[in-house]
Structures are given as C-alpha cells and as structure tokens.
Structure 1
Amino acid sequence: MDEMVRQVQSWLNKTYDKYVAKGDFQTIPENGKTGWTTVYALTRALQIELGISPTADNFGPTTEKLFKPLTIGASDAKPTNINYILQGAFYCKGYSPGGFTGVFGGQTQIAVKMFQKDAGLATQDGVVSTIIMKSLLDMSAFQTVSGGTYGIRTVQQNLNRDYSAWIGKLVPCDGLYGRDTNTSLIYALQKEEGMARTTANGNFGPGTTTSLTNLIPTFASNKALVLLLQYSLACNGLPINQFSGVYDAETTNLVKRYQEFMKMSITTGAITMGTFKALLSSAGDTNRSATACDTSYVLNTDQIDTLWNAGYRYVGRYLTGNVIRGGVRVPKAMNPTEIAAILKKGLKIFPIYQDGGYEIPYFEVPFQGISDGYKAIDAAYNLGFPAGTTIYFAVDLDAYDYQITDLIIPYFQNLRAAFQQNQALRSYQIGVYGARNVCSRLKNAGLVDNVFVADMSTGFSGNLGFPMPDDWAFDQYFEMSIGTGNGKLDIDKVTYSGVDKGVSVVTPPPASDTPNSAAINRARLLKIRDVLYGNSSLAALVDDKVTFELELEKTNSRVISPNLTVIFKASAKLTDPADGGTTVSVKDGKVSASFEKELANWTGSLSTEEAGDTKKIIADLAAKVVVGDITVKWSPAKDFITVSITANIPEIEVTDKYKTSASMSISLIIDNKNKDLDSQWDAITSAVTDGALKTGGMAVFMFALYGVSVFGGGLLAPIALSLIAIGLLIKEFLEKSSTK
C-alpha cells in the first residue's frame, strides 16, 4: 500500500462526496493502490472543477478545451483543488510532488520537469500543459518497465519530442512496443507525407500508402523519413545501433534482413513501400503475390485449377465443420475426393481445425482443448494425414494478454495433453492460427510447433505493436474472390515461409465399424465432462483450468486448504463396486425405486434446504450417468479420512454402431497429520467407526472441513456449499449402509 495514494483517495472521497448522488463522482476504495478507479476519480474531480457536468472517465475534447496550463505559484499561494488533483496524479504516476498540499510549489515544479524529461520533451519548463495533464491522468508509464528496452524507450521519447504537439498526445515511454507507439509512428509518417492533421488518423490506409509510394524515389535522402524507418526497424526487433537519419550500411543490412525474414520479393535492402508498410501494419502490402491461401470452400476441380493457374501451391483446408454461405449452412470440411483432386493437381495441404474459437466464451468451456484435440486427431487420421502433419487450431479473435494467460494457454495445454495421449495412433504436431501476440506467447511457452499468423486483422491489439513471431510458417494478409463461373471461390492470401512444407500424400486407414482410439477417448471424456459439470457440487470442487486436466488415467490433485485435498481421476476402466463402499444402481437416468424411497424417508428429518441439496446431487449424478452405478466409500485412517465418490458409465455412444465405457472418481482427503483437527477428530472417527454419521457427527465433520479455525478464513462459498451437499450425500449412503 502507498500511503500517499491512500491520502489522495481519502481526499477525493471527502471532497467530492456531494457529487455522488448526481452521478458526477463515485466513491472509491481507500486502499493505497493505484489503478484506473483512482485515475478515473481524479479525472472526474478535474472535470467538476472545470464546471463540466455530466462528468466522464475520459479526458475528452471538452476537458482539453477548458483546462488551463498550471504553473508554480507565489510563496504565499493558497491551496486549490486543481493543484490537489495534479499532485494526486503525480503520486499515482510514481512521482513525488513534495507533498499533498494543494499548492504548486518548487517540489511540484521539479516533478513536472522530471516528467517532461522522462517523456522526452524538448521543453522542460515545469509548466503543466493540457497534453501533460492528460498524460498524467491515465495508467501509461513514462519510465522503463519490466521487459522494456532502452532502444524502444528512445524511439518513444523521440516521437514525443518531434511529434507530440502535432499528434496531440504523448506516447508512453515504458520501453515496450505497443499500440500507442505503433499508432504514433503512423501519425508521424502521415505528417512527413504532408497530410493535413484533420485527415491524419494513425491508420495505414490507402492515402498513407499512396503518399508513401510517391516518396520512395527520394526516401533515402529524407532524414525524417529515414529516422521513422530506423524507429520502425527497432520496434520490430532489429538490432539497430543508432538513430542517425542516414540510410547507411547498417540500415541497408537491417532492411535486407527484414525483407528476407518476411519472405518479400525484393530483398536488396532498398526501401520499398511494401517493406515500410509491413513494419507498421501487420498485413503489409496486400497487393503482393502469394503462393499459399486458405479457404472454407470444399474445392471442385475447376476451383483447384483456378488456384493452380493463379500461382498457388499450398492451400489451407478445414478438417471439420460447416460455414454459412449465402444464408445457407454448407460443409467446409475436407473430404477424400477433394483431397485426392488437390494432391493430384500438385498442390499441398495444411489442415486447419476451427469449430469455434471466434469468441472468448468458447475457451471458457472446461476441457475444450481436450475435446478439440481428440476431434481434430480423429478427423486427420480418418482422412489419412501422415504423422508429423501440423494441425492449426484457430484463435480467431482479438485476445488480450490476460485472456491469453487465463484461457488460451490452458486450452493449448489441454490440446497438448490430447496429442500426447494419441501418439500411438498417429503423432501430429500442434499449430496455432491467431494474432501475433497469441502466436508468439504460445510458441515461447512450447505449446505449439508452428504458427499461422492472422496478419489480415490489422486492427487486432494482438497485432498492433507486436513484431512478427520467429519461425512463422504461414502469414495470412488479404481476403479476396478469385476465378469465374464454376471455378470462382473466396480465399485468404497467405505468405508461405517454407517452415511447414504441407502435406502431399495421404493414406486413409481401412474402413472399419470400430472407431479409432481418438474418437473413443473423446466420447469418454465428453461424457465424463458432462457428468462432472452437470453437477454443480462436483464441478465447484474440480473446476480449476490450470491444475486439472481431463486426461484418462491421470490423477489430478487440488489443494483446497492445509486440511483438505481433492483428487480427481477419469479412467477408461470401470471400477469394481466390490472394492468396498456403498453402491446404488442407475438406470434410465434414475436411481433405483427402493433407494429413492429410503432417501425420501431419511430426508424427512432434514431441513428443506438440506433435503433439496441431497436429492439434487444424487438426481444430477444419476441423470448424467444414465446407466451405471454410483459408489461412495469412506476410508478412515490414523491421521487421514478419505471419502471417494465413483461413477461408472458402461454405455457411452461413440457411433450408432459402437459404445464404450468409462469411470470417474472424486476423493476428498481430510488431513490431520499436523494435529490441526484434534479437537474434532475423535468425534469424526467415532462417527465413522459406528458405521454412520449421525446428524451431530455430520455437523462436526462439516465444521472440520470448512470451519474458519481450520482454513484460516474459510472456504469460498461455492466450495463450502458443495462440500455440504456432498457431505449430506455421504451421510445418506452411510445411513443406508447402517440399516442393512
């Protein structure tokens, strides 16, 4: 916690509390932590002082118009709220203005000058201009952050020095190449092209492209343009030693190196419009030729001829799925006839898997990667794609960095698990189709073998300000129609790097009524997922996308507290009920009538809520199992008690002619080896030894599981409620057992 930030937060709440009811201010936490909540509060406070209502979180045109520069005051100046806001902004930015006094004195002026220096401004006069105040009231950094480099920070400072007045904003000077730096480079280029400020927009559109093309003949002698080129080379990871503005041997060599890396047609080191555009816009020159493409069309021979005659030699095609075309759902999946025709013509194929991946919720589905991995392997195997083929899985959205961490990486971890499990069937490689940041992070994490870059999406934040991934295989950059008549189709133009050679020969397996192992395992795991996540009590215990992977025969542990561990396992094998415990059979999604009768009699002594919880967990399990059995086993030991719930599912449909089986188990391990539970342990073990958990014993057991004294703060509500429901289920099974 930063005490000065806390003081700023407290002052804001006290000073502007009277504006809360009107909606111009919102009370903020006084936690001493800088964040957007505090920055927004400072912005709204400034707008209130400027007479703006209603207020907003952003420093918009009206705020810019009404704000007047702030300068050092007289020695006897009185505090003002605007100066308090200024000093509060400095504290949130990591600068000390010499105190939270409301007076613009010498120390505050020093802070302003230090900020001007960090921003790279030529004028460091200690005057707070509109552009400085606007930059203070956001979360951008003006000092090098973790991962930032001196070279990129120098580029950012130079852009501020030379172009901030024209652009109307400051570039963050954090040493990281991102959207703001990328956009500012394009603004700077537009200024050097002579574009009017009212026309310039920071996008590399047709006007910018045309103007740059016209400047190419004199480019090398234009110092300002060469500087922007050198800045752009540095931002794309090229190791330039100095920003001289001279098109020297070093610049020529780096341009040549970049042209070769991007597989451009001109690799002499001379600047071209396409080279400069590629440095600043992910798609680059979309008019350039390509030898690869991808398409959702199931290709006929005329369309294959169209591709061949246009110079295409590699085509990306889908393994599964459908697409809407002309308002009609049509297949996009390859078939054996199409594959044979493509390969006969001499084209090579790189397979793509995309049955979703357009929106973030797709990646939130538990174990989606496991399911997709099995489905893709099943399709590739049946179509005859050989071992070593890369299958590209689509992340067809603008995933932010935190979403890559929280969702995309776990998805590909599950994919990797699915591929490893099926190596005996056929060993395929994993590829990703996605924005540059997605591709780079997955490749650096060792989760993909090859990357297919979605550079066509120039507005994606994952492309803006991110260099091209190393060792890229394919680069998609333009969508178009090609051909006429029966040979017409829509394609995406793709640059081929040579990293992935594509597939030229397929060998489909012999026809059989028995599905391959990938299809069988996918059916098992989808059923287990359905059972697990169809029961909210069980799901709350197991749902951890990082810790748990739904893999057959893999034991997964989740430590919920020092005294409670959850073990989960999915298996292709059925568990023998004779191994111990109490078992109830399930048929047509329901437990036996005799058990339902006993359950009704027993739950009559419970509260309405307890009875409902107990009935629901049993009914949910039975409904998902459909046919099989559910076993509960209670295993006491000296310092441990283990409760296991196992579901056998003997009839899982893979195809209309083939069924398989699987089982899943969840074990709760209560641990007293550190003697934390001594005060409750005797009561718990006594209840177990007696063969039943009476109501009082159940209460002791549940307190031991989720009581505050045990967990030092208690469990999260969903887990606690799940344990209660499961505990009641255990109690019922044990009650049932004791009456036999």
Structure 2
Amino acid sequence: MADEMVQRAQRFINTTYNNGATLGISKLDENGRTGWPVMYALTRALQYEMGITALSNSFGPTTLGKLGELYGKLDETTVPSANFCRIIQSALYCKGYDGGEIDGQYNDRVKAAVVKLNQNMGVSGTYPGSSLWPKVVKGLFNMDAYVTVSNGSDAIRSIQQWLNGRYVLRKDFYIIPCDGHHSRDVAKSMLFAIQYELGMADGVANGVFGPGTQSGLKSHTVSLGTTGVWAQLFTAAMILNKRSVPFGNFTATVQSGVQTFQSFSKLPVTGKGDFQTWASLLVSYGDQSRKGTACDGVTMITPARAQALKDAGYQYIGRYLFNPSSTSLPEKQIQPGELATIKAAGLRCFPIFQTWSRSADYFSYNQGTADAFRAIEWAQFHGFKSGTVIYFAVDYDAMDGEVTDYVLPHFRGVLRAISENSGYRVGVYGPRNVCQRVADAGYAVTSFVSDMSSGFSGNLGYPLPTNWAFDQISTITVGSGTGSIEIDNNITSGRDTGQGDFDPGISLDGLDTDLDKDAYGDALLQDVRTYLDSIGVPETGGEGWEADDDWVTLGGISNTKAVELVLSADWLFTSLARQLKLRKALIQAPVLWELRKLNPFDVAADEAVKAGLDDDCSTGWGQIFAWVTIEARNYCMQQGIINGTPLTNDDIASVWKQLNEDPTYNIRSVAYLTIYNAHQLGAPRPSLSTTPAQTQALLARYNGTGDDAAKYGRELIGLYNVLENYNILSRAQ
C-alpha cells in the first residue's frame, strides 16, 4: 500500500540528487513503498552529504565512523544542513515513524519519533532523549523492524530489546531487529553477548562459537536457583528456541522446560544448563563431540567398515539410492552386495535420494514428480521394503521465499508420486527451516537435518524441526586400516530406524530411457510429420476445422507443436513406462494424437463444463473423460498398481478439473487407462513384450469400440511405431 510520505521521500531523493545520478543509482520509483532501493538511496545520500566519495549501499564502518567523527550525535544542534535533516526525516518515514514535513527541520515531531525509535530498539536507557547516536542511525537505514511484525513473539522481542540495551556500547555489537523473530543477526548477537560476559575484549569477541567460547561455557553451567546475567542469557536462548519459559532467573519452570528440551534433542536429561545444552541452544550442530548412533556417507560399507561402525556404536547408516555421475564419487550409490553386508552386521540403512538439488532453480513440481519416480525405481532395485522413508535432499541454503516458491511445490510433486505409486514414505534432508516447512505442509513424515551447515540462514535462528529423525552434526573418521571410513556423524531421535532386511530387488533391464533429444529430436519430429501427412493429417488444420476458423485462437495445435509438447514431458512418459513396466510409446501415441486433433468442438466442450452447463467431457492433453478416468484409476487401485482412495461419481468435478489443468495428472491417467483398457479387452496387462497386434488393439480401445475405434487403432499403430523406433535407439545407448 502506497504511503504519501514515503512517496515524498522518494521524490526528495530524485529531485535533490539528479534522479539518482549524483548518488550512482537509477531514479527511484515514486510508488510510496518502502524497500531496499529507497534505503540504499538514503544511505548513499547520507554518505554524499558527509563528503564520502566512494558511495555504497552498505552502511558500513566508514559511514559509521565518519558519522561519529563529524557529529558525535545528531540533533537540532548538530545536523549540518537541511538536506541532511531531510534524509533523516525520510528514513524515519520509511521506518513507519513521523518525520515531520521533510522540511529540513529537526523539530518536535522528529524528536518525538527519535525518542520512540530508541524505546522500540531497547536503547533508551543508554541513549535517553531525542538525539540520534551513530549505531541508532545505522539501524534506521536498513529494513529491520523494531516492533513486533508478522505474528512475531513479544517474548522474543523483549529479548532483542534487552540485548540491544545491554550491549550497544560494545564496539562490534550493532542494534539488532526487535521484530519478535529469531534470525541470523539475533543468533550472532547472543554469541557476542556470551563472549562479552566471559570477559572477551572488543576485537576479540567475534560472534563465533569457537574454542574460547566453548571453553568458557563449560564453566558456566546454570541450574535451579541461578540468578543474574547467566540465567538471563540461558533463558533468552531457551525463548529464542521457542521454549515457553520466563526470561530471567533459573526457576523450577525453567528447569522443567530444560528437561523437555533435552529430551526432545536427545541430550542427557539433567534439567541443567550444562555445556551440551548451551551448545544445542546456540548453534545448530551443538556439541560436535557428541557421538551419534547414525551416520551417512558416500563410501561403500564393506564388512570391515561395517564392523568398525558397529564397534563405534553406530546402528543406522544413510546411503544414496542413486548417483547420476559415472565418475564423481564412484561409491556414493549403494553398491552391489552392500545392503547384505549391512544386514549381516546387524546394522540398518536409511536411503537418501539426491541428484543435484543445490540451487532454487532445480526445484519444481515436475522435478519433484520425476525425482519421486526415480527414487521409487532405485529403492525397488536395491530391495527397500514398503514403508521405508526416503530422504529427498535440499542441499543448499534455501531462502524462505525460495522454500515457498520452489521447494514446497517440489515436495508436493514428490509426495503425490510416492503416495500414488509406491508404499514408500517421504522424508526431507535439508536445513532446519526447509525441513520444518516441508513437514508443516504435510509433505514429509520425518526430517534429516543438515545441522553441520551452521551458517545457513535456514539453520540460524530456527529450532530443531519437530519431526527430526537424524541430526547431522559433524564429519569424523571411524576405524582404521581397511575398516577406516569417513562419515557424517548423526544424532538420532528414534522416529526412523531405517531398514534391516531387504527384498531381492528388481531388474531395470530393457526399460525405456529418456529420449536423447540432441541426437534424435529433429529426426523424430520429421518422421512424425511425414507419417501424419501420409494419413491425411497436415501440419495445421484438417478434420474438425473450417477454413475460416481462427485456428490458433481456438486452441489449434500443429504437428510440430504436438511433438514438442510430448517431448517436453518425456521425463514423465519415461517415468510412467518404467514404473508400470510397459512401452512408453503406448502412452505417448494417444497423447500426441489427441493434442494434434484438438479442435473447436473440444474447446467449446471444455468451456461448457467450466461454466457449469455440462458435468463432463474429454479434456486435457489426453482428451479423457473424468468418468472413465475414475473407472481406470479405481481398477488400478484394486489391482494394487497405484494407491489411493476409491473415487465415485461425486468426484467427477474434481477429477475433471485436474485432467483439464494438470498435464501430469492427465498423462498419468492415460497410462492407467491403458492398463484398464487391457482389462476391458480381456487381454494381458501391457508389458515390455506386448505384441504389435495387442498394442494396436489397446490403442483402438482408447477411442472406444466399433469401426471408428478400429480406424483409430490403425492410425495410431503407425504413430506408435515411429515413436518406438526412437525409443529403441535411446534404449540401446
């Protein structure tokens, strides 16, 4: 929502500083909305007015030092110019305070705003009155909030204000937000506070949980009856970890809360703020000397290594289902005979699935679906039993917005495919925030937490996820000689104990693979176009279209476009074919045909259903009716091919909507309909060895029965053969 005074502040910058050119920036949008572009511009303007020549978006040591050197503090007696004051007034408005009329006057309205700002920051005891001190100015020129926002905790806000008030005069301590939310800055400020109380001098204290800090904390166990600053720091750490205890003295209520926290974190339940408890509250990895009972790694478990791990007290081993690289980390994927070795040693294994997953652009609903199918396949190949939790990796520091936009849709795809196509369960590997948000969305039953990455923003300021199963805290080496193995050491909660027995596994021989589009894409397109033209299907238009129809506007798809769409979903056709153990051309051919044959009558039928004038029609890529999709899916559920709740006619509307809007749901339904059609014909379930005659009969049944269906089958078997020719070439590579 636009704010008139913020808009005036933007206009002031533009008119005073040559539309930003003087400051080395572009002209500000005068939209009345606070944001980093405005704060950066005001920071540069402040630097310019102080005579700093190397202007920067950062309010760093140079800006802070110059401010103190020139003015000491800012008030009506020290503000050097009207424009300097206007910058202060503009910044106050961008923070939500009354900055007066942006008229260059440090008047009573500005003074009242500064008093309120100091109070909100928690520094009014240190900085009484209406003057702006350098560190307060630094806090004014950023996007931190000093009031509780977005359902923040008032208890956390009080901790933030307390930290500011107590430590603001220390050299390297800067004012932190007072918004009621734990964060990276707050977590670091807690470490600074502890270091200051341990007696570390300015310049020595660095906000890092290093050996000196750890050694000092070992001498500061707090327990029932402890009062003073150490009790305050400990209860603050508890509150920041979302533990409902009172701030201040170590009371019986605090002791009870500590016991609950220790039990949850699998620490010794002492009820005291001992070193391990301090460590777990302050940094994600906690006390890295803790010995876990689980581990994970990229090295094959041999009998000697299995014995070394068992002797060291390990019970659960995380291993990777699949390694997309044939050269990097050659033992990362579970090796032949390895699970038998784990079983023979009395150990258990939990599987991890990761291909890339190290940047936001990897994650999407479709990629999640593809990963799920691949994980199912490899889990079955290795022999993991139904009920196994597979941990899907988010192996980077995902920002909260990226979790919303990329990671959650990805896991929605993972869960849907895993739930529908297997008996496996979904776990998530990643930073704390990722794990908790995926769990809160209902997409993962347990979490494997990458807590070694303590600097990740998704770990700093976030408590251990409520459904954590494995907590990765350190990298160590176990064993010696042939038994030596480097592992990631994990604490376990008991929520997942992996698998100690395995099925024989399945063969992946002869299954379809992704089409090599670089090698065969152009040739396939040309052969499809040639075939379609030979049976009277031109590049555009044709049956169902009138000469004066607006072909594109009405949704017409050319031969070329139909092929492009099918190839864009090649990953899904491949996944379904491999999962169902049939030829993917059997799914591709009707989808490509129906896409190409889309005509104005189909478009009109869709619009009628959307308008509530009809209940059902053939729709989407595969032009399927909802009623037949329900029959096909129910049959596949009955046969144990897919999982789900049986559908009824009451589900027609929701099924039709998914068929119409979600191509992945539509294509999957085509595959299940193909299996159902075999049942309708009294024919064997389609497989890798289905004969050409059986294939043609299945393709014909896709269009019903009778002469039209027979013609449909004759036309599609030719298309099937073209597609299968290139699938054969890809399989042979």
TM-score clears 0.5: yes
Distance in 2, matches of 1:457 and 1:186, equals 17
> In 2 relative to 1, CA 13–256 (structure 1 residues): closer, same or farther, beyond 3 Å?
same
Pairs within 5 Å for 1:406-417: 406-417=405-416
Offset, 1:384: 2.0
Distance in 2, matches of 1:231 and 1:287, equals 24
1:180-199 C-alpha deviation (Å, 9 max, x unpaired): 11111111001011112202
Which residue matches 1:432? 428
Which residue matches 1:662? 587
Distance in 2, matches of 1:256 and 1:452, equals 23
1:147-194 C-alpha deviation (Å, 9 max, x unpaired): 201110010010011012214311100001111111111110010111
Matched, 1:472 2:488: no
> In 2 relative to 1, CA 510–239 (structure 1 residues): closer, same or farther, beyond 3 Å?
closer
Offset, 1:377: 0.7
Equivalent of 1:193, from 184, 195, 198? 198
> In 2 relative to 1, CA 622–237 (structure 1 residues): closer, same or farther, beyond 3 Å?
closer
- Counterpart of 1:494 in 2: which secondary structure? strand
> In 2 relative to 1, CA 284–586 (structure 1 residues): closer, same or farther, beyond 3 Å?
closer
Equivalent of 2:289, from 287, 290, 294? 287
CA contact (8 A) 1:320 1:334 kept: yes
1:659-696 C-alpha deviation (Å, 9 max, x unpaired): 3322436568479889x9xxxxxxxxxxxxxxxxxxxx
Matched, 1:136 2:140: yes
- Counterpart of 1:331 in 2: which secondary structure? coil
- Counterpart of 2:475 in 1: which secondary structure? strand
1:62-99 C-alpha deviation (Å, 9 max, x unpaired): 11111124544379x99611110011001000111232
- Counterpart of 2:363 in 1: which secondary structure? helix
Pairs within 5 Å for 1:260-659: 260-264=263-267, 266-321=268-323, 329-363=329-363, 367-422=366-421, 426-509=422-505, 588=527, 590-592=529-531, 618-619=559-560, 621-622=562-563, 659=583
CA contact (8 A) 1:142 1:174 kept: yes
Pairs within 5 Å for 1:139-154: 139-154=143-158
Give, as a single letter, the amino acid of the residue that structure 2 aligns with 1:496: T
Give, as a single letter, the amino acid of the residue that structure 2 aligns with 1:58: S
Which residue matches 2:649? none
> In 2 relative to 1, CA 119–213 (structure 1 residues): closer, same or farther, beyond 3 Å?
same
CA contact (8 A) 1:383 1:508 kept: yes
Give, as a single letter, the amino acid of the residue that structure 1 aligns with 2:280: A
Offset, 1:501: 2.0
Equivalent of 1:108, from 103, 107, 110? 110
Offset, 1:205: 1.6
Distance in 2, matches of 1:457 and 1:443, equals 20
1:588-626 C-alpha deviation (Å, 9 max, x unpaired): 4653496799769x9xxxxxxx99xx9997546547869
Which residue matches 2:128? 124
Offset, 1:464: 0.2
- With 588-597 and 371-380 compared, the bigger mean Cα shift is at 588-597
Pairs within 5 Å for 1:697-736: none
1:108-156 C-alpha deviation (Å, 9 max, x unpaired): 0000000111111113311101011111100000000012011100100
- Counterpart of 2:181 in 1: which secondary structure? coil
> In 2 relative to 1, CA 267–446 (structure 1 residues): closer, same or farther, beyond 3 Å?
same
- Counterpart of 1:143 in 2: which secondary structure? coil
> In 2 relative to 1, CA 530–130 (structure 1 residues): closer, same or farther, beyond 3 Å?
farther
- Counterpart of 1:271 in 2: which secondary structure? coil
CA contact (8 A) 1:25 1:45 kept: no
Distance in 1, matches of 2:450 and 2:527, equals 47
- With 308-317 and 11-20 compared, the bigger mean Cα shift is at 11-20
- Counterpart of 1:142 in 2: which secondary structure? coil
Equivalent of 1:160, from 157, 164, 170? 164
1:177-229 C-alpha deviation (Å, 9 max, x unpaired): 11111111111001011112202121212221122223448997562111110
Distance in 2, matches of 1:448 and 1:419, equals 11
CA contact (8 A) 2:222 2:274 kept: no
Q: CA RMSD in A?
A: 3.8
> In 2 relative to 1, CA 23–172 (structure 1 residues): closer, same or farther, beyond 3 Å?
closer
> In 2 relative to 1, CA 286–505 (structure 1 residues): closer, same or farther, beyond 3 Å?
same
Matched, 1:255 2:258: yes
Which residue matches 1:174? 179
Distance in 1, matches of 2:226 and 2:460, equals 28
CA contact (8 A) 2:14 2:20 kept: no
> In 2 relative to 1, CA 461–623 (structure 1 residues): closer, same or farther, beyond 3 Å?
closer
Offset, 1:471: 2.5
1:706-726 C-alpha deviation (Å, 9 max, x unpaired): xxxxxxxxxxxxxxxxxxxxx
- Counterpart of 1:276 in 2: which secondary structure? helix
Equivalent of 1:208, from 190, 204, 213? 213
Distance in 2, matches of 1:186 and 1:47, equals 31
Distance in 2, matches of 1:381 and 1:165, equals 61
- With 227-236 and 334-343 compared, the bigger mean Cα shift is at 334-343
CA contact (8 A) 1:352 1:392 kept: yes
Give, as a single letter, the amino acid of the residue that structure 2 aligns with 1:3: E
CA contact (8 A) 2:429 2:435 kept: yes
Distance in 2, matches of 1:591 and 1:441, equals 50
> In 2 relative to 1, CA 313–247 (structure 1 residues): closer, same or farther, beyond 3 Å?
same
Pairs within 5 Å for 1:235-250: 235-241=240-246, 243-244=247-248, 246-250=249-253
Matched, 1:234 2:239: yes
Give, as a single letter, the amino acid of the residue that structure 1 aligns with 2:90: G
> In 2 relative to 1, CA 653–40 (structure 1 residues): closer, same or farther, beyond 3 Å?
same
Corresponding pairs, count: 576
Offset, 1:251: 2.2
Which residue matches 1:638? none
> In 2 relative to 1, CA 89–219 (structure 1 residues): closer, same or farther, beyond 3 Å?
farther
1:350-403 C-alpha deviation (Å, 9 max, x unpaired): 111111112223215x61111110011111122221211100000010000000
> In 2 relative to 1, CA 622–470 (structure 1 residues): closer, same or farther, beyond 3 Å?
closer
Q: Structure 2, unaligned stretches of length 5 or more?
A: 543-550, 612-733
Give, as a single letter, the amino acid of the residue that structure 2 aligns with 1:261: F
Offset, 1:25: 3.8
- Counterpart of 2:486 in 1: which secondary structure? strand
Name whichever structure is richer in strand by fraction. 1
Distance in 2, matches of 1:514 and 1:486, equals 37
Distance in 2, matches of 1:343 and 1:200, equals 49
CA contact (8 A) 1:450 1:500 kept: yes
CA contact (8 A) 1:419 1:428 kept: yes
- Counterpart of 1:473 in 2: which secondary structure? strand
Distance in 2, matches of 1:597 and 1:218, equals 83
Matched, 1:183 2:188: yes
CA contact (8 A) 2:223 2:255 kept: no
Q: What's the TM-score, normalizing by structure 2?
A: 0.72
- Counterpart of 2:219 in 1: which secondary structure? helix
Pairs within 5 Å for 1:8-23: 8-17=9-18, 20=21
Distance in 2, matches of 1:593 and 1:368, equals 31
> In 2 relative to 1, CA 598–262 (structure 1 residues): closer, same or farther, beyond 3 Å?
closer
> In 2 relative to 1, CA 10–397 (structure 1 residues): closer, same or farther, beyond 3 Å?
same
Offset, 1:514: 7.2
Offset, 1:283: 0.2
Distance in 1, matches of 2:385 and 2:26, equals 61
Name whichever structure is richer in helix by fraction. 2
> In 2 relative to 1, CA 618–239 (structure 1 residues): closer, same or farther, beyond 3 Å?
same
> In 2 relative to 1, CA 171–352 (structure 1 residues): closer, same or farther, beyond 3 Å?
same
